[in-house]
Amino acid sequence: MDTVQGMRTFAAVAANQSFTEGARRVGISTKLASKYVGQLEERLGAQLFNRTTRSVTLTETGRAYYDRCVPLLEQFDELEGLVQVKQSELAGRIRITAPTGFGSSQLVRMLKPFQAAHPKVFIELHLSDHHVSIIEEGYDLAVRFGDLKDSSLVARRLLDMRIVCCASPDYLDQHGEPKSPAALATHNCLLRTFASTSDSWEFKTGSGIQAIPVSGSFRANSPLAVANMAADGLGIGRIPYYTVLPFLETGKLKLLFEKEEARVVGLYAVYPPSRHLTARIRALIDHLAAHV
């Protein structure tokens, strides 16, 4: 068994907590993956996994080996890239996690020119509106909005995203356009499920920032769902600007209270501090910062 192949198989099994999925990731059979890991354990003289019929988990020794194994494999991949015919050519896989709405629209548009410029870079994009542990689940990079809850991660701010109020022209014709944020109390407001301030919206006033209580008949965990309902005339929404932009361009939504906007949300590229930042990941982060 080639040592690097054994390490690569071990890391894939550990990241996916499954011999079947780990084997698929490295392109070998489950039987061969089990053989490689067994040979690696025999050579090291240590058990790396606790195996049951239902789960595969790292032992304490296995966790320590994994934490050192992954950066070494990444450095090895980068070293191999340096001896390509074109030394400046980037190659290898980048695993990214991002929120569904932004990831399926803005992010994929930003990724397209990067992959066109670097055809040997393989990007695996996972979209989820739930918090994903990028270290435990083996992601190289996360693109996230808002304040970072995990201070152990390294973050690069890409931009500040406006949070805007909007409604359809039909809704405003039928119910009247609110003249001030305080008038939202008389309107059907479309709310975000996961927003920490979903039942009150902040606006600038002459005396500072004021939280305006809001309520409505619709609530969703997706900003795109709110945008679609607003465009269909159900009420007034407050969502990230990137979600509203396509509807503004077609005239289906109109912005409200632009001068009173009080909130922006940071967009960050986030990665583990212990992970070696390979040239391809560093290049992608630079690309995202330049193209947001």
pLDDT digits (tens, 9 = 90+) for 35-52: 999 999 999 999 999 988
CATH 1.10.10.10, the chain: domain bounds: 3-83
Which band of pLDDT confidence, cut at 50, 70 and 90, is reported for residue 87? very low
State the pLDDT at residue 165: 96
Which band of pLDDT confidence, cut at 50, 70 and 90, is reported for residue 74? confident
State the pLDDT at residue 85: 43
pLDDT digits (tens, 9 = 90+) for 105-159: 889 999 999 999 999 999 999 998 777 888 778 889 999 988 777 667 888 999 8
Copy the structure tokens of residue 77: 């991949």
pLDDT above 50 (res 234): yes
Assigned CATH topology for domain 3-83: Arc Repressor Mutant, subunit A (1.10.10)
Q: What is the mean pLDDT of the chain?
A: 88
For domain 161-264, give the CATH superfamily.
Periplasmic binding protein-like II (3.40.190.10)
CATH 3.40.190.10, the chain: domain bounds: 92-159+266-290, 161-264
Total-model pTM: 0.64
pLDDT above 60 (res 195): no
In this prediction, residues 266-273 reach a mean pLDDT of 88
Assigned CATH topology for domain 92-159+266-290: D-Maltodextrin-Binding Protein; domain 2 (3.40.190)
